[in-house]
Each structure stands twice: as C-alpha cells, then as structure tokens.
Structure 1
Amino acid sequence: MTGKPVIGVFALQGNVREHVAMLTQVGVVARPVRRPSELAEVDALVLPGGESTTMDKLARAFELFEPLQKRIADGMPVFGTCAGMIMLADEITGGIDGQETLGGLDVTVRRNAFGRQVDSFEADLDFAAFDTPYHAVFIRAPWVERVGREVEVLSTVRSGPDTGWDRVGPEAEHSRIVAVRHDRLLATSFHPEMTGDARLHGYFAELVRDL
C-alpha cells in the first residue's frame, strides 16, 4: 500500500476517541465509522470494546452489519478489542439467545469469561510480536477457548479472576488465550487504547501497510 492507510473506528459504541488518538500516534489517518458510506472509505477497521450485544443491535440499526460482514469476508483488516474480539469470532459461548457475530476469525470466544466489572484487572503479558512485556487492562473481558489451525496465538495470561490455573495443580496448563491473529484479523481480550502503549496499534497499522 502506498500513502497513509485510512483506518476507521466503529463509532457507535466504545472508546472511539482513544482508539483514534492511538492510530493517529502511529502515523495513519483515523476516522470514526457510523454509516456504510464511511465504511466504504477506509482501508481497515478497529472494533472497540463495549457491549457486544449492543454493538450487534446498533450495527443493524445503522445498516452496518451486512456491509461489515462483506468487507471482512473480502479481506479487510480488522482489529477487535474486548467486545470487538467477540464480534469477530466465528463462535461464542456465554452469549444471549439470538446473539450473532460478524465472524471471520476462526476461534471460539467465551463472553464475560473473566467475570463482572468488579473483577477487572491488569497484567503484564509476554507478547509474541514484542521484545518487552505489554501491560494490559481487562474489563469484563472474554477469552479464547478454541483456535483454528491457521490462527496464531500472540499472548496468554495466567492471572486474574477465574482463569482456573491455580486450582488444578502445576501439571496442568490453564493459561487463557487473550490475543490472536488470523491472517488480516487481529483480536485482543483487553483494551490496548487505555494504556498509553501504542505498540499494538502500530502492529495493526503495519499489517495494513503490508497489503
């Protein structure tokens, strides 16, 4: 790709301004996306955290759901964070009746896996793409329970509520998958826009530049 990539941020819910600021910091053009006409003008998209069921309803109300599905199926790069990870997953557990996702990411994600708002936590993660740990903020976060054969696991966590690893003994490995990549789709359980560390947004920007 020549020139600056234009990366949109799904702007019907979530920390839109924070993602726009991070994307701008890593040298791309960032735009909020609320309508199909705005989606058509971007090279890639960030799906921020929020409430996945509400995001589903709002995307339909603003006639964005089907255009988003089509762009993802056609290969548009997307970075989903927290609820955005759920929206990208091909399969979810712990969802409400009738909840649908955009799909495209060959994983199974458990909604609200780490517990409620009061169970929010922070952790320093080893990250496959970085030389030093990445400080992550988890808020009502999902985790990945299954990954497809072509999905790369970028990071796991062994702390925080309900991970289960401390109850099964040292012989069992119960780290939870919290960051994955599948081709042009990137997803994290946590909120990278809340830490001041722009490395993940930069990683996504490079993915888009490489198109």
Structure 2
Amino acid sequence: MNFLKLFKLTLPVMTAYIPLGMALGILAASNHFSIYQALMISFFVYSGSAEFLLVTFIVANETLLGIFITLFLLGFRHFFYTLTILSELKNLNFLRHYVIFSLSDESFALLSTYQKDFESVSNKHKRSLYYALLCFLNQSYWLFGVFLGFLFQNNIDIDYSGIEFSLSALFIVLAYDAYKQNPNPKILFIAFFIGFFGFLFIAKAYMLFACLSIALVYLLIRKNYVR
C-alpha cells in the first residue's frame, strides 16, 4: 500500500463525486447561497443526499426540528458503517476521529473492499494515515465538485439536467468492484432481496430498511459473530 495505489482506489469516487458535487453547487447557487455557505454545508454535513435536502429545507423555511429528524434518519446508516469497522478503528491513532467523521458511503465501501491491503501495513501510524488520506481525498473531490458547480452556475449558461445520475452510477461501479473481490452468489441474492422488497413496499424508508436488513442477514449467517 502506498499513496499512488491509494489515489487509484479513489478514482471511481472522484469521477462521481465531482459531477455530483457540481449538482449540489448548482443547486446552492440557483437558490442564492454564497460559495462559503455551500462549501461549509459540504464540509460539515458531508452526507450526499442530506446536503441536497438541507439546501431544499433551508429554502422552504423548514423548522430546525424537522431538519434534524429528517437528516438524522437519513444519515443513520453511518452508525452501521462505524460499527462494522470498529475493530480496525480501535487500532488507529488520533486520526480515527477524522475517519469516523468523514466515513461516507463510498469511503466505507473502499475500506471494506480493500481491508486486507490496509491490514498489510504493519506500522500503526502509516495505516492510520492511509485510512485518513483515503477519506480526505474523497471529501476533497466532493468539495472541489461543489466549488466547480457553483462557478459554472454563475458563469456558464448550459443545461445540467441528468448530472444527478452520477450517484447511482457510482454505487453500481463500487458494488461491481466489491463483487469482483468476493464473487459470492449470496451477495447477489441479498442485493436482489433488499432491492426488490425495499422499492416495492417501503420506498420512502429504503436506506434505513437496507441497512437494517443487511445487519440482520449478517448476524444470521455469521454464527461466530463477536461483538
């Protein structure tokens, strides 16, 4: 593991985060947010769809309680991410606090998929640095995309429709890459089950349903699960 390999791992995220961040920057600029407000939301909230909702809620004069409850439920999946790699985080130094803060869906997917590569780094401080760098690179791509989108909206008059599909494309690429690392047919079955029943019956709470379902299936199939 080295910085160049780490950077290559984040390239799929970069190709999606920049256009998706641009979509957020365009949305913020269209609703008369300043560049500083857009970047602050992106840095401190840093939860993809939650940022889009936050901008929409602010424009609609939503109450603080309504914003809090909605964003809390939307970001609740991040609790599961941290719990999943808790044993690895305990072995990191103070940089683990930044890793926990910036553990987005995509960063978690990369850390989980290439866990063995990170564990091969015996030096505790280097491993902590690599974890933090991966998360930092991904967050940098997002912030850069927001900045570009804000500038484009204010200076270039073109049609940006369809740019939001970059998020779906990113999840498809990451899921395919994870399956190549572990071509287990059970993964396909679980994905089909969660996708079919989630969209069919509880589309409005799909993300929470997906996280709870994955956690339940994991506990059921792993008999030697240890807290």
Please report the TM-score for the alignment, with normalisation by the length of structure 2: 0.23
Q: Which structure's residues are more often helix, by fraction?
A: 2
Structure with the bigger RCO (C-alpha within 8 Å, sep 6+) is 2
Q: Which structure's residues are more often strand, by fraction?
A: 1
